[in-house]
Structure formats: C-alpha cells, structure tokens
C-alpha cells in the first residue's frame, strides 16, 4: 500500500457515474477443494482491493452510527454491508487477507476488529499505512456528510458507487502465467518483477508448508539483503543458482524412463526463471528457503 493517501481512488469513485471502471486484478485459484470457499491469491491488484475494502468498512462504521436514521426500506443495508466484508468460509473470516509486510495485515485486522468484523487482532506499536488510509476515508465521509446534511443518503450513495464500480478479474493458472500477462497489460508505473512474484508465492505457500508468513518474509528480506537492492543482481543470482545446481534440483522432478534430463529447464533464463522457481518453491518450500539462504550468504 502506498504511503500516499488514497485521494484519487475516493474522488474517482464518488465523482464518476455508476459503473466506473476501476481496473483489473490478476489472481490464481489456490482452492484445493471444490466444495470449500474459493480462495484466490491476488498477484496484481492487492492495493486496489484493500483500498475498496477499507472504504466499505469506513462506510459501515459511519452507517452504524446513523443506523437509527435508516428508514424501513434501508434497514437491510447495514447487515448486507457487513456480509460483503466478512467471509465465514475464509481462513481469517474476512473477504480479504492482505500480505504481512509493512504491517499491512496487522493494520487491516485491527481495523476489522474495531468494527466488530473480526474476533481478535494484535495492534502493532505504530499505525501503518492501511490504518491511515482507513482514517482518511472516515474523514472524507464526515466531510461529505457535513456538506450534504443528510448522513444516511450520503453514505448509501457512496456505497452504491463502490458496489457498482467495475473491476475485472483475470484468473490464471500459475505465477509464471500471471507474470507474462502482467507484462503484457502493464505499461505504466513500477513493473512487477519475477522476484516480486517469487516472494508472493513463498508467502502464499508458507502455512501449507508448516512455516509462518513472518518467518518466510524475514528470511526473504535477509536473502535480498545479501544480494543488494539491484534487481539485475538479484535476477542473476537466481539464474546462476539454478544453473550451478540444476542436476540435483531437477532430480526430484525426473520420473522413471524420463528422457528429459532437466525437466525444469536446460538453463535458467529471464523468460523461464519464474516457472522454474515456482516448481521448486511449491515442491519443498522449507528446503528451498534453507538452501537459497546459504547460497545467498556466500
């Protein structure tokens, strides 16, 4: 989440007609059971979704304050808004689970807890960007309410704008596909790199591998500290890591009668780097993290 306040997002939604297009998201379906709640990993568009969820939560907060002013036709608006934020089938009980870096997840959970949408949450020492974003939305709503003189009408109009905004979901099968698609769609702003997507994949696989997101994030930051902030250096390290140890790295992926000596790839290049490491991370995250940290420190 950017450190800048979400002024453009709020103004764009409120000042445009219903059905305003707010962009697209790229996600991967991580659900393992077709009968359980569908779980999507958002590869691109996390900030956009989080901002929208915080805005809806701010509207929910102010609508609760003015619930006695709701007429009979609007009495179902508050519970409906609540249901749009919570998700009983989700692991955290919410429709969204931000990543842990920059205290985003902790911030988000505290906001949800203080609105009665989450049973418990641990507050970090200082407010992070998500909490500041939420407070900003509260201030903007209060300003609009004061200007209009009709709290319920203003809040429901803004809620309607958010609910009717158009967001396109693009679902892909892997991080490698997401990266290829992202490169073709994104021609503005800071590009998402293969290294960024590796980190996202590691955090997404952490709990399934018996690890914690916090530990994986700290290990990843330690690794990048060894490699410097230069992306070309980071990319070169991962390519050379695979090329140097490709025989042992490919061994678990070979099958009986396997004609292809290197099923992951003959050599790591920029174009296949992510697909190679997606396989390595998904197969044995704990072993991968231990080995890559040792190699990065050398």
Task: Give per-residue pLDDT as tens, 109-120.
Answer: 999 999 999 888
Domain span including residue 215 = 194-297
Domain assignment present for residue 210? The answer is yes
Domain assignment present for residue 158? The answer is yes
Domain boundary, last residue among 139, 173, 207: 173
DSSP of 61-103, one letter per residue?
Answer: HHHHHTGGG--GGGTTHHHHHHHHHB-TTSTTSBS----SGGG
Domain assignment present for residue 268? The answer is yes
What is the DSSP-derived secondary structure letter of residue 271?
A: T
Structure confidence at residue 50 (pLDDT): 92
Q: Note whether 115 and 249 are same-domain residues.
A: no
pLDDT surpassing 90 at residue 140: yes
Count of all residues that appear for the chain in the document: 298
Residue pair 3/10 in contact (Cβ under 8 Å)? The answer is: no
Structure confidence at residue 127 (pLDDT): 66
Task: Give per-residue pLDDT as tens, 142-194.
Answer: 999 999 999 999 999 999 999 999 888 888 887 777 766 665 555 444 566 88
Q: Residue 8 CB: number of other CB atoms within 10 A? A: 9
Domain assignment present for residue 57? The answer is yes
CA distance 140 to 13: 13
H-helix or E-strand containing 23?
Answer: strand 21-29
Percent of the chain scoring above 70 in pLDDT: 89
Half-sphere exposure of 100 (CA within 13 A, CB side): 17
Q: Note whether 61 and 116 are same-domain residues.
A: yes
Angle, helix 46-65 to helix 129-148, in steps of 10 degrees? 50
Q: Note whether 132 and 231 are same-domain residues.
A: no
Most confident of 101-115, 117-131, 185-199, 204-218: 101-115
- 84 vs 92, more confident: 84
Q: Note whether 211 and 255 are same-domain residues.
A: yes
- Residue 102's nearest CA partner among 129, 133, 131 is 129
Q: Note whether 91 and 143 are same-domain residues.
A: yes
pLDDT surpassing 60 at residue 290: yes
Task: Tell me how many domains the chain contains.
Answer: 2
Q: Note whether 80 and 226 are same-domain residues.
A: no
Q: Note whether 19 and 153 are same-domain residues.
A: yes
| Residue 186 exposed, middle or buried by CB count within 10 Å (0-12, 13-18, 19+) | middle
Structure confidence at residue 35 (pLDDT): 67
Structure confidence at residue 126 (pLDDT): 59
What integer is the mean pLDDT of 254-265? 78
Q: Note whether 118 and 227 are same-domain residues.
A: no
Q: Note whether 70 and 111 are same-domain residues.
A: yes
Domain assignment present for residue 186? The answer is no
pLDDT surpassing 60 at residue 99: yes
Q: Note whether 57 and 150 are same-domain residues.
A: yes
Please compute Rg for the chain using Cα positions. 22
Domain assignment present for residue 184? The answer is no
Domain boundary, last residue among 104, 139, 173: 173
Question: Which has the minimum average pLDDT: 182-186, 219-223, 253-257, 260-264?
Answer: 182-186
CA distance 42 to 97: 10
Q: How far is CA 258 from CA 182, 243, 254, 255, 262, in A?
A: 33, 20, 6, 5, 9
- Residue 207's nearest CA partner among 291, 100, 85 is 100
- Beta pairing class for 21-29 and 40-44: antiparallel
How does the average pLDDT of the chain come out, rounded? 85
Domain assignment present for residue 288? The answer is yes
Domain assignment present for residue 189? The answer is no
Structure confidence at residue 160 (pLDDT): 93
Q: Note whether 127 and 210 are same-domain residues.
A: no
Q: Note whether 135 and 202 are same-domain residues.
A: no
Structure confidence at residue 161 (pLDDT): 92
pLDDT surpassing 50 at residue 14: yes
| Residue 169 exposed, middle or buried by CB count within 10 Å (0-12, 13-18, 19+) | exposed
């Amino acid at each position: 989440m950017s450190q800048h306040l979400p002024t453009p997002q709020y103004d764009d939604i409120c000042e445009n007609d219903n059905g305003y297009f707010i962009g697209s998201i790229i996600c991967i379906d991580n659900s393992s059971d077709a009968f359980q709640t569908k779980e999507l990993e958002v590869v691109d568009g996390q900030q956009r979704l989080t901002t929208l969820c915080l805005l809806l939560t701010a509207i929910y907060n102010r609508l609760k304050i003015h619930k006695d002013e709701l007429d009979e036709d609007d009495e179902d608006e508050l519970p409906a808004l609540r249901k749009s934020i919570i998700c009983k089938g989700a692991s955290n009980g919410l429709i969204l689970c931000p990543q842990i870096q920059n205290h985003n997840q902790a911030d988000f959970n505290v906001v949800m807890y203080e609105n009665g949408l989450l049973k418990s949450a641990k507050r970090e020492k200082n407010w992070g960007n998500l909490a500041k974003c939420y407070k900003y939305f509260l201030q903007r709503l209060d300003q609009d309410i004061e200007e209009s003189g009709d709290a319920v009408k203003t809040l429901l109009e803004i809620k309607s704008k958010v609910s009717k905004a158009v967001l396109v979901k693009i679902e892909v099968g892997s991080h490698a596909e997401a990266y290829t698609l992202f490169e073709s769609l994104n021609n503005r702003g800071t590009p998402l790199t293969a290294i960024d997507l590796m980190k996202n994949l590691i955090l997404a696989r952490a709990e399934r591998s018996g690890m914690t997101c916090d530990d994986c994030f700290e290990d990843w930051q330690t690794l990048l500290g060894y490699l410097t902030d230069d992306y070309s250096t980071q990319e070169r390290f991962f390519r050379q890591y695979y090329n140097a140890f490709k025989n042992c790295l490919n061994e678990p992926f070979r099958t009986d009668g396997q004609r292809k000596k290197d099923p992951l790839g003959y050599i790591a290049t920029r174009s296949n780097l992510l697909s190679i490491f997606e396989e390595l991370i998904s197969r044995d995250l704990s072993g991968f993290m231990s080995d890559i940290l040792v190699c990065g420190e050398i």
